[in-house]
Amino acid sequence: MISFGCPDRTGIVARISTFLADFGGWIVEAGYHTDLETGWFFTRQEVRADSLPFGIDELRERFAAVAEEFGGESSWRVSDTGERRRVVALVSKDGHCLHDLLGRISSGELEVDLRAVIGNHPDLGPITEAHGVPFHHVPFGKAPEEKADAFGQVQKLVDEHDPDAIVLARFMQILPPELCEEWAGRALNIHHSFLPSFAGARPYHQAYDRGVKLIGATCHYVTAELDAGPIVEQDVIRVDHTDDVADMVRKGRDIEKLVLARGLRAHLEDRVLVHNRRTVVF
C-alpha cells in the first residue's frame, strides 16, 4: 500500500501509475482527492505484492525517489497490508468499547495483535485476561507528581510493544503534551460526542441541558489540544425529549463502539491521510 500527499499539480497520478506499471505493479484499489482550499493532493494505492519483482524495502527505496520529485513538503508511506498490526489499549472503568474490540478481535472480524491493555483501574483486568491478553494496572494519583509517574509507567508499557495504534478506549485521562507528540498519528481517542460540539467532560449532560435531538461519537487522533485532534470517524443517533441523561449514555455507547471500531480499522489499513487539522479517509 502506498499513500502519498503533496502540493497539487498536473502529472502526479500519471507519474505514480507509470512508476508502478514499469515494474508490473498491479493496482487493485486507488483513491484520489485534492483539497481545493489548500491545494493539497492525496492518494492511496493498493498494489498486489506478488506483481512486483522486489520486496517492500526496495519498493520504499524506489518510491522515495519518486516522492522527492514533488518537493520536500510531500509526505508518503509504504506499508505491507499483510503484516498483522500491533495495538495497545488504554482503559479506565467503562468497558463497553474494550468489550466490543475484544469481541471483534476474537471473532476474526478485526485482525490485529492486541499486545496489552493498560488500565488506571483494575476493573477490566478479568475480561482482558479471559481473552488471553495481558492486563496492566497503573494507578493514577491526584497529585501532579503521581500522575507524571503513572504516565511514565504507561509510556514504558506501551513503547515496549512499538504499537501501530494506541487506542484510548474511554481511558478518561488527558495525555501529557510530550506523550501526544511521541505518539502523534498513532494515538486514537473515542470521544462521546459529535465534535466539535460538547468537548471536554460530561458531554451527555451538556447535550441533555441543550435539548439536542442528535448525539454522537467521534474517533480522532490525540493532540495536546483537548478533543481537537484530526477527526477519523463520526456517527450519530437520534434522541428526543423523553430521553434523560441515562438514556443518552446508553444509546451513545452503541455509537461509541461502532465509531471506534471503524476508526481503528481505517487507521490500521492506512486509509487516513492527515494534512494540518483535517483528514482524508479513503
Percent share of the chain, pLDDT over 70: 100
Closest CA to 117 of 83, 131, 179: 131
Pick the catalytic residue: 94, 100, 164, 227? 227
Which stretches of the chain score pLDDT less than 50?
none
Please, what are the domains in the chain?
A: 2-78 (3.30.70.260), 85-281 (3.40.50.170)
Q: Look at residue 45 in the predicted model and tell me its pLDDT.
A: 97
- How confident is the model over 15-56, as pLDDT tens digits? 999 999 999 999 999 999 999 999 999 999 999 999 999 999
Longest dimension (CA), the chain: 63
Burial class (CB in 10 A: 0-12, 13-18, 19+), 109: exposed
pLDDT, position 201: 87
Report the alpha-carbon distance of residue 214 to residue 220 in Å, rounded.
19
Q: How many whole angstroms from its chain centre is CA 65? A: 28
Q: Model pTM? A: 0.95
Distance CA 124, CA 112 (A): 20
| Residue 227 is among the residues annotated as catalytic for this protein | yes
Looking at the DSSP bridge assignments, the partners of residue 275 are 278
Which strands sit side by side in the sheet containing 27-35, from one edge to the other? 27-35, 40-47, 2-7, 75-78
Average pLDDT, the chain: 97
Gap between the Cα atoms of 268 and 47, Å rounded: 17
